Amino acid sequence: MRKGRARHLAAPLTAFVAAAAVLAFASCTNDTATGLDDDLLPLRPRTIEVRLPWSQFGVGIDVIGGYGLVSETPSVVLADDYQGQLDARALAAFRYPPDVSVDDTTGVVRIDTAYVPVGGRLLVRIDTIGQEDFHIVAGLLLDRWDRTSATWEVAVDSVTMSRLWEEPGAGPVVPVGSADWTPEMGDSLIVPIDSLAVATWADTSQASGLRLELETPGRLVRILELGLEVDARPSVNPDTLVAVETATGNVTFIYSPSPPDPSGGLRVGGVPAWRTVMRLNVPLVLDGPPELCAEVTCPFEIDPSRVNLAAIALTTTVPDAGFRPVDTLQLDARGILAPELLPKSPLGSSLASGGVLVPSEAFGGSTREVEIPVTSFVADLLRGETSTGGQPLTSLAIVDLFEPRSFPYATFAGPGQEGEPFLRMIVTTADTVEIR
């Protein structure tokens, strides 16, 4: 598990006043029946936007990786020198059914446990969005591997065993089939598999599964489903062939290189997933800058009940080559229930009401501000207690809404960098109004 701490430096406070007073009179008289002063009305509501730089509300940041397993992602990834950097290969193991039901030579349905696999095809369903043509190659895996711990260099990495691949990238393999895909083919691809391969898979002492790889530089392909259909010759009726669907028990993918550790910036998502943990201390009283004090009486005390919105604002940066998002990401913020247990602390419920959508274009070069609502979290901090009277949380995590879900990850400027995080609050206040 990798862990990095971002620096945070002082920066000036900026505030922006956003809206004007709204005042309605039900009637006008010479005397003010309820006022303490005939020249004053008690309320002049104002909506104020306040922006606090990191130095005014942030205590510290940790960027922590290692959440979830590659094998837990909903799709597997193939890549060949993607963005000039990344290679990824899929690994899969198949289990043949112990028997098949087939008509014998007299037409009676019988259970056959001695059928012989003689050929087959790999059935691949891919994500076609933005996809270009590619060439895919299947190879017979000879080395034993573990779905939950296999990496580009390591076949098994468990408590009881650690073993490298004979060759990095899950090699060597015996080629057993290949196919070309073009957009006109839709989302399905069939890779014919030779008879030797399907027969070998039936004997688990000889082979451990299949390795899939691309041979089209610059491509990245997401596989949504992977299956193997086998042509079998029944022992009770050798003159016919039956199609047998196998069970795909173990599927994962491995990739190289591993992403570098964060260096001052923030990171969210990826597989295994990264989280950015923030420790906050939001001030209750503001005594500047002059732009704020020109609109309200300073020192200005923030009423927690009048905080309409509080959001952590982040500025996007360009992720490392090979890990730049190609799809919309969904980011969320969650309170950390037991900071002392980090990195394994449980998280609270969503603060961003189901996540904030961030398009992949936001990480393509031009910066973009992303706001993640944390209103209830900040209101509790200002109040000094939760709405139920409990101790408020002081740490939150910026996370991928469904981790680990996306192979690439999001990156943002950290404290002390251009575009550092800031806290944006929309606050309603009320001052007395003088009658002229």
Which fold, 86-256? Hemocyanin; Chain: A, domain 2 (2.60.310)
User: How far, in whole angstroms, is CA 147 from its chain's centroid?
Assistant: 21
Note every long-range contact of 109-113, with CB atoms under 8 Å and residues 24 or more positions apart, other chains counting. 110/236, 112/234, 112/235, 112/236
Distances (CA, A) of 387 to 12, 52, 390, 410, 429: 32, 24, 7, 33, 21
For 357-412, what is each residue's pLDDT tens digit?
999 999 987 889 999 999 999 999 999 998 888 999 999 999 999 888 878 899 99
Q: d(Cα 3, Cα 182) in Å, to the nearest integer?
A: 41
Statement: residue 35 has pLDDT above 60 = no
Nearest Cα residue to 254 out of 403, 23, 98, 92: 92
Predicted confidence at residue 218, as pLDDT, reads 94
For 325-365, what is each residue's pLDDT tens digit?
888 999 999 999 999 999 999 999 999 988 899 999 999 87
Greater confidence (45 vs 434) lies with 45
Statement: residue 36 has pLDDT above 60 = no
Statement: residue 247 has pLDDT above 80 = no
* DSSP character at residue 167: B
Instruction: Provide the sign of the torsion angle of the four alpha carbons 215, 216, 218, 220, taken in this order.
Output: negative
Q: Is 339 helix (H, G, I), strand (E, B) or coil?
A: helix
Is-cis flag, bond preceding 74, omega within 30? no
- What backbone phi and psi angles, to 5 degrees, belong to 281? -145, 90
Tokens of 202: 């039936």
How does residue 60 score in pLDDT terms, banded at 50, 70 and 90?
Answer: very high
Find the length of the chain. Answer: 436
Q: d(Cα 256, Cα 152) in Å, to the nearest integer?
A: 6
For 95-128, what is each residue's pLDDT tens digit?
888 888 888 777 788 888 888 888 889 999 999 9
Statement: residue 213 has pLDDT above 90 = yes
**Are residues 310 and 381 in contact, defined by beta-carbon separation less than 8 angstroms?**
no
Instruction: Provide the sign of the torsion angle of the four alpha carbons 126, 128, 130, 135, taken in this order.
Output: positive
Q: Which of 25-34, 192-201, 371-380 has the lowest mean pLDDT?
A: 25-34
Nearest Cα residue to 6 out of 62, 59, 52: 62
Predicted confidence at residue 209, as pLDDT, reads 85
Predicted confidence at residue 30, as pLDDT, reads 43
Which amino acid does the sequence have at 296? Answer: V
Q: Hey, which residues does 126 pair with through a beta bridge? A: 223
Which residues make Cβ contacts (< 8 Å) with residue 106, sequence separation at least 6?
A: none
Predicted confidence at residue 189, as pLDDT, reads 94
For 276-315, what is each residue's pLDDT tens digit?
999 999 999 988 778 778 878 888 888 898 899 999 999 9
Predicted confidence at residue 19, as pLDDT, reads 36
Domains of the chain: which residue ranges?
Answer: 3-68+260-434, 86-256
C-beta atoms surrounding 68 within 10 Å:
16
